[in-house]
Structure 1
C-alpha cells in the first residue's frame, strides 16, 4: 500500500480505468484527466504518401512505431499498393525507434539497419549520422520539429508520414487538472504519452501559467512518466525531475510511484 492517501492525476484516458484500479490497489486515489483527444487516420493523405515513396523511393525510411507501419501496410493493401510497398521495405534501408518497432519488423522478416533501443528520438538522432539523403519519416501523430530540423541542417530532404493523428483534449478537463494542481490537491501527475505532455504544456503556455506549473512540478508535485520518451518530452518543457520506471509499462509506473513514496 505504498500509495496510501496519495492523490494522483493520470493524463491518459484510453486505459484510465485500468490505471485507476492499479493505483487504488496500492491505496491511492486516481483522478483521470485525459490530456489528449481521439486518434484518427487521414487515409487519403497516408495513401498519397505511400504512393509517393513507392514512385520516388527515399534513401532511408525511419519508422517511429510498429503500429503506424501496420496501419500503412493495411492502407497500402486496401488501395492496391501492397506488393510495391512491401518491396520498398525490403530494398530501402530502415531505421526504427524502440524495441517494439524492431520486433514488428523482425516478424515481417525484415531486420532494420539502425535501432534506437531506448525508444527516444534523441537516441535515434544520435544513431543517424547521415547527410545529403532523401528520408521518409513515419511519425505517430506527434511532430518532432527539432529532429526534423537536425536532419534538414545536414542537407537531408525529409518527407513526413502520419498514419495516426490526434485531436486536442477537452479544454475543460485540462483546466480542471491545472486548478487541482494549483489548489494543492494532487501529490503526483502521471503522463502516459508524449502527446499528452505537448497538449498540457501548450495549454498552460497559452494561459500564461507555464512558470507557475513548472514550479509546482519541480518542487511540490511529483511528475511521473510512463517511459523514457515521455520523460524526454517533459524535460524538454522544463521539468527537471521525473520519476520513470525502467520498463515502460503502466503497471511498472504505478509500482515505481509506490516504491518512491515508501522510501
Structure 2
C-alpha cells in the first residue's frame, strides 16, 4: 500500500523538503527516517531486484562444474550468496565449491569478500574502491588469453566488464543470480519531469540501476542534458555508495552527496548534514 505524503515535522534540516526515494528495498524504513528529519518522503521506486530461481541458474552452474574454470569473478555479496544457495538447492554445492576453490578468484566489494569467506574462499584479487572500474584496474595485468572465466553479474549485463574480459582473450561464461526490473515505467517518467521542473529537493539513489533507468527514460525524450543540469543546480542527488556515484558522474551529474559508510540510513544523515551546511 502506498503511504500518504506527510508534511515534514518542524525538526531537522530536511524541513518540508521533498525527498524522492528510488529503491523499493526498505522503502518504509527510509520514509520514516526522512520524516524524522523533517522531510516529506516521496515513494518513487524505479527498479526492483528479483532473485532468480535455482532452475534459472542450473545451466550455468552445471556448465562450470562440468567444464571447470580458470578464473571465478564475483561482483556482489547478495549475488554470491544466491549463487551458492542455488548450487546447494540443485545438489551441486560440493562440486561447485570444489571447482571454484581450484580456480583463481577475484571479487568486487567488501560484501562480496565477506560472502566468499563464508564458503572458505579468500579472493586473490580485490578491487580498490568497490567499483567495476576498480576491479578492471586490479585485473589489468592479468592475462586471460585462452582462459575460462566464470563471471557473476550484478542483476543485469555489464558491457564494460564483459567486453574487457573478452578483449583480453577470456572464454567468458556469465550468470545472473538476480534480475533488475522496472515495476512502474510511468513513475520513471514522472520523476524525470519532477526533477527537471524543480518540484523535488533531493533524490536518493540506493543502487546503480536506478540511475540508469532514470537517464534512459530521459534520453528517450531527449531530456538527459536537462536532467543532469537539474541535478547539478536544483535537485540534490544522493548516492548510497561509490558505484552509484560513478554512474551519476557518467551521466553528467557532478553534485552528488554520498556517505562514507555505504548504508541507506547513512545516506539520509549525509543529505541532512549537507542541508545543515548549506
Same fold (TM > 0.5)? yes
* Secondary structure in 2 matching 1:119: coil
| Alignment of structure 1 residues 1-263 onto 2, 5 Å | 1-116=12-127, 118-129=129-140, 130-131=142-143, 132=145, 133-263=147-277
* Secondary structure in 2 matching 1:166: strand
Give the Cα–Cα distance (whole angstroms) in 1 for the partners of residues 264 and 18 of structure 2.
Answer: 17
Root-mean-square deviation (CA), in Å? 1.5
* Secondary structure in 1 matching 2:257: coil
CA distances 1:114-157 after superposition (whole Å, capped 9, x unpaired): 12253211111111122213211101212210121222222222
Aligned residue pairs: how many? 263
Give the Cα–Cα distance (whole angstroms) in 1 for the partners of residues 78 and 197 of structure 2.
Answer: 39
Contact 1:99 1:118 in 2 (8 A): no
Instruction: Give the CA deviation at 1:76.
Output: 1.5
Contact 1:42 1:165 in 2 (8 A): no
Instruction: Give the CA deviation at 1:193.
Output: 0.3
Moved over 3 A (4+): 42-45
Instruction: Give the CA deviation at 1:42.
Output: 4.9
* Secondary structure in 2 matching 1:20: helix
TM-score, length basis structure 1: 0.95
Give the Cα–Cα distance (whole angstroms) in 2 for the partners of residues 68 and 181 of structure 1.
Answer: 32
TM-score, length basis structure 2: 0.90
Give the Cα–Cα distance (whole angstroms) in 1 for the partners of residues 274 and 197 of structure 2.
Answer: 23
Query: Unmatched 5+ residue regions in structure 2?
Result: 1-11
Query: Unmatched 5+ residue regions in structure 1?
Result: none
Contact 2:105 2:123 in 1 (8 A): yes
Give the Cα–Cα distance (whole angstroms) in 2 for the partners of residues 68 and 36 of structure 1.
Answer: 17
Give the Cα–Cα distance (whole angstroms) in 2 for the partners of residues 52 and 261 of structure 1.
Answer: 52
Instruction: Give the CA deviation at 1:239.
Output: 1.4
